[in-house]
Structure 1
Amino acid sequence: MTVWDRPEPPARPVPLDRERIVAAAIALADEGGLEAVSLRKVAARLNAGPMRLYGYISTKEELFDLMVDAVQAEILPEERPGDWREALRDLAHRTRRTVLRHEWLADLLGGRPSLGPNGLAVTEATLAALDGLADVDTALRAVEMVSAYSTGAIRREIANLRAGRATGLSERDRQRAAGPHVTRMLATGRYPALGRVVHDATHVDAEESFATGLDWVLDAVAARLHRT
């Protein structure tokens, strides 16, 4: 039985329900990451005894499931774009923006089934974008490919943001600090392809990089849809 199937206990003197518990947990995670979330800390924020929470949530993993589902509501668009490509692009960008607001979500993306109502709605919206355009297996592989790209790119962006905060340096400054070492390594001649990237590649910000890569993935989906 999932946490969504299990009824909540009756109200007691201190008002408490899963929605309030999850909101408090999200606030803690937004402030300090997942390591800042525990049932004890959530209970303290709600001025409730820790044991009270176990009537609503059995484990911290269940709490994480509920937190993920709650913020997935931010991914859902108010209206579904008519074009499949625009629909998938919009969902990917909305996912990225949601993770940037809740960085802890990057640690849980793709790592657990989305069985809550919002998670299922996001999955439905994603699959519905390709409904009728290809057989179900082709549509599923396409959705998995777009999701794999989005998850990987978003996690890399969050990792770079965290590295910057840890060092106090921007990505450009970290690259500049590593410059002497990289220059010495390139001078050995063992890394010619990397050397061309270092000297000739155009620097773009994370949003532009994400958008470009996403368009290339959608181009591949379009080519497969055309063949089928």
Structure 2
Amino acid sequence: MTVWDRPEPPNQPVPLDRERIVAAAVALADEGGLKAVSLRKVAARLEAGPMRLYGYIATKEELFDLMVDEVHAEILSEESPGDWREALRVLAHRTRRSALRHEWLADLLGGRPSLGPNGLAVTEANLAALDGLADVDTVMRAVETVSAYVIGAIRRETANLRAERATGLSKHDWQRASGPHVTRMLATGRFPALAKAVYDGTDVDAETSFTTGLDWVLDAVAARLSPPPA
């Protein structure tokens, strides 16, 4: 039985429910990452005894599932466009923005599908955007491909943000600091393709990189779409 199927305990003298528990956990994670989240710390934030939380949530993994589902509600905060390509693009950008607001989300994306109501609704929205445009297997692979790109891009951007905080160096500071080493390595002639990218390529910000890559993935999806036989 999942946490969503298990009923909450009856009313207690001090009000408590999963909604308040999850809100407290999300706040803790936003402040200090997933390492800052435990049932004990959540209970302390709510001024409740830790054992009381076990009536609502059995494990920390269940709590993480509920937190992810809470963030999925942000992704569904607005109606998706009717055009399949724009619908998938909008959902992808909303996912990225949610991950930037809640940096810990990157650590929990990409595993087993989210079975909460909001997570299922996000999956439904992605599948529905392509429904009728190809056979069901093509639709599933297309959604999986877009999801894999979005998750990978989010994790890379999040890792860069964490590295900046850990080192105190911005992207451009790090590039300047590592520049002499990179220049020496490229001067060996062993990395001609990399040298061309470094010296001739255009440096873009994270959002531009994300948008460009997403458009390329959607181009690939478009090439695969063909209505299923009647």
- TM class by smaller structure: over 0.9
Q: Contact 1:77/1:91 (CA < 8 Å) preserved in 2?
A: no
Q: TM-score, normalised by structure 2?
A: 0.97
In 1: Cα distance, 2:207 partner to 2:78 partner: 22
Q: SS at the partner of 1:129?
A: helix
How many matched pairs?
A: 228
Deviation string 1:36-65 (CA, Å, 9 cap, x unpaired) is 000000000000000000000000000000
- Give 1:26-175 correspondences, 5 Å limit: 26-175=26-175
Moved more, 62-71 or 218-227: 218-227
Is the CA contact 2:40–2:50 (under 8 Å) kept in the aligned structure 1? Answer: yes
Summarize deviations over 1:102-146 as a string: whole Å, max 9, x none: 000000011232100000000000000000100000000000000
The one-letter amino acid of 2:68's match is: V
Partner of 2:194: 194
Equivalent residue letter for 1:73: A
Q: CA–CA distance in 2 between the matches of 1:135 and 1:200?
A: 42
Alignment RMSD: 1.0
- 1:19, distance to aligned residue in structure 2 (A): 0.4
Query: Could you list the per-position Cα deviations for residues 139-176 of structure 1 after superposition, in whole angstroms to 9, with x for gaps in the alignment?
Result: 00000000000000011000000000111111111111
User: Percent same amino acid among aligned pairs?
Assistant: 84
Query: Gaps spanning 5+ residues in structure 1: where?
Result: none
**Which letter does structure 2 place at the counterpart of 1:106?**
A
Distance of 2:146 and 2:127 partners within structure 1: 11
Tell me how far apart the structure 1 counterparts of residues 24 and 114 of structure 2 sit (CA, whole Å).
21
Spell out structure 1 runs of 4+ moving beyond 2 A: none
* Paired AA for residue 145 in structure 1: T
Q: Is the 8 A contact 2:132 2:227 kept in 1?
A: no
TM-score (norm 1): 0.98
Checking the alignment, whether the CA contact within 8 Å between 2:18 and 2:56 is kept in structure 1 is yes
Indicate whether 1:15 and 2:11 are aligned.
no
Deviation at 1:80, TM superposition (A): 2.4
CA deviation map 1:51-98 (0-9, x unaligned): 000000000000000000011000015222110000000000000000
Partner AA of 1:75 in structure 2: I
Task: Provide the rounded CA distance (Å) in 1 between the counterparts of 2:51 and 2:37.
Answer: 16
